[in-house]
Copies of this chain bind each other. A is one copy, B any other.
Amino acid sequence: MSEPQSPEPALIIQGDSPTGTRDEDAADGIQHSHRMLSFSDALLSIIATVMILPVTHTEISPEQFDKSIQKLLATRIAVYLMTFLIVTVAWAAHTRLFQVVGKIDDTLALLNLACMMTITFLPFTFSLMVTFPEVPLGIFLFCMCVIAIGAVQALVVVYAFHFPHLLHPQIEHSAHRGLYRQHILGIVLRGPALCFVAAGFSLFFYPLSYLLMATVIFLPYVSKASSWCKGRLVGPQEPPAHSVEFFTFDLHEPLSKERVEAFSDGVYAIVATLLILDICEDNVPDSKDVKEKFHGSLVAALSEYGPHFLAYFGSFATVGLLWFAHHSLFLHIRKATQSMGLLNTLSLAFVGGLPLAYQQTSAFAQQPQQELESVRVSCAIIFFASIFQFAIWTTALLHEGETLQPSARFGGREHAFMFAKLALYPCVSLLAFASTCFLSRFSAAIFHLTQIAVPFAFLLLRLLVRLALAPLHALQGLSLPAHRSEGSEDDARAPLLPSAY
**Residues of A that sit less than 8 Å from B by CB:** 1, 3-7, 9-17, 19, 22-23, 26-27, 29, 31, 35-36, 38-39, 42-43, 46-47, 50-51, 53-54, 57, 79, 99-100, 106-107, 109-110, 113-114, 116-117, 120-121, 123-124, 127-128, 131-132, 135, 137, 168, 170, 244-245, 248-249, 252-254, 256-259, 261-262, 265-266, 268-270, 272-277, 279-281, 283-285, 287, 290, 298-299, 302, 312-313, 316-317, 320-321, 323-324, 327-328, 330-332, 334-335, 400-402, 405-414, 417, 455, 458-459, 462, 485-486, 488, 491
A13 neighbours in B (Cβ, 8 Å): 99-100, 168, 170, 249, 253, 256
- Note all chain B residues with C-beta closer than 8 A to A277: 50-51, 53-54
Shortest Cβ distance from residue A48 to the other chain B in the assembled complex, whole angstroms: 10
Closest to A120 in B: B276
A124→B280 contact, CB < 8 A: yes
Closest 6 CB pairs of A and B: A27-B407, A42-B269, A4-B401, A113-B320, A14-B256, A13-B99
Which residues does chain B contribute within 8 Å of A284, judged by CB atoms? 124, 127-128, 131
Check if A38 sits within 8 Å of B262, measured CB to CB.
yes
Also in contact, A23 and B488, with CB within 8 A (given A113-B321, A261-B35): no
From residue A122, how far is it (CB to closest CB) to chain B in Å?
Answer: 9
Closest Cβ neighbor of A286 among chain B residues: B131
Shortest C-beta distance, A210 to chain B (Å), equals 16
Residue in A29, A46, A47 with the greatest tally of chain B CB atoms within 10 Å: A46
Task: Tell me if B29 and A414 are in contact (CB < 8 A).
Answer: yes
Nearest Cβ on chain B to A474's Cβ, whole angstroms: 20
Min Cβ gap A426→B in Å is 19
Main secondary structure of the interface of A (DSSP, over half): helix
Chain B residues whose C-beta falls within 8 Å of the C-beta of A54 in the assembled complex:
277, 280-281
Asked whether, in the complex, the Cβ of B254 is within 8 Å of the Cβ of A9, the reply is yes
Q: Which residues of B contact A3 (CB under 8 A)?
A: 406, 409, 486
Residue of B nearest to A269 (CB): B42
| Cβ–Cβ contact A320 & B117, under 8 A | yes
For the complex with contacts A17-B257, A110-B458, 10 further pairs of A-B residues with Cβ separation under 8 Å are: A3-B406, A7-B402, A12-B254, A13-B99, A13-B256, A15-B258, A27-B406, A54-B281, A57-B281, A113-B324
